[in-house]
Amino acid sequence: MNARGTGPIRLLLVDSQLAVRKGLGMRFALEEDLEVVGEAGDGAEAISLARTLHPDVILIDIDIPGGIALTEALRSSSPRSAVVILTLHDDAATRERATEAGVVAFVTKHQTEEALLAAIRGAQAARTNEGRHDRTSANREEEHTNEPDDMRERRDL
């Protein structure tokens, strides 16, 4: 389920290799809770599609030209989308840079498909929980600001 609680998790696939995108798309089509809504082969196309499609999760191969910077741009252009990295590189420096760029999950191409599916679903769950937390915080803030001034003053004492 997506963050709206309806339908499958909407995925945007970003990889410079068409065969990889098609293979992933065919595999994800077997999952009832996943829907590939777009595919991008480069950074400009990925940003454009992220802005128009508003995917729940963006799966990006970090080896695409501009990898980390592209990840940051995708987070900026589609802030409600969770970004999951798929890569051959499994070193601490790459993981750290990806985390700093706002990546929710990091999966190596050496891991099983179950690990990739779990990462996508986990990213969606984190995204959904974050949205709930934001709404809860906003409701609490609204409740707090709707108190009469004298009540706030007494509570603050």
Q: Is residue 43 part of a domain?
A: yes
Q: Is residue 109 part of a domain?
A: yes
Q: Is residue 46 part of a domain?
A: yes
Q: Which of 76, 59, 75 is nearest to 123 (CA)?
A: 59
Q: Is residue 62 part of a domain?
A: yes
Render pLDDT for 43-96 as a digit per residue (tens, 0 to 9): 999 999 999 999 999 999 988 888 888 988 998 899 999 999 998 888 898 889
Q: Is residue 111 part of a domain?
A: yes
Q: What share of the chain is helix, strand, coil (3-state, %, to 5)?
A: 55, 20, 30
Q: Is 20 helix (H, G, I), strand (E, B) or coil?
A: helix
Q: Is residue 57 part of a domain?
A: yes
Cα separation, 98 vs 9, in Å, equals 22
Number of structural domains in the chain = 1
Q: Is residue 122 part of a domain?
A: yes
Q: Which of 73, 23, 16, 18 is nearest to 50 (CA)?
A: 73
Q: Is residue 155 part of a domain?
A: no
Asked whether residue 39 carries a pLDDT value surpassing 80, the answer given is yes
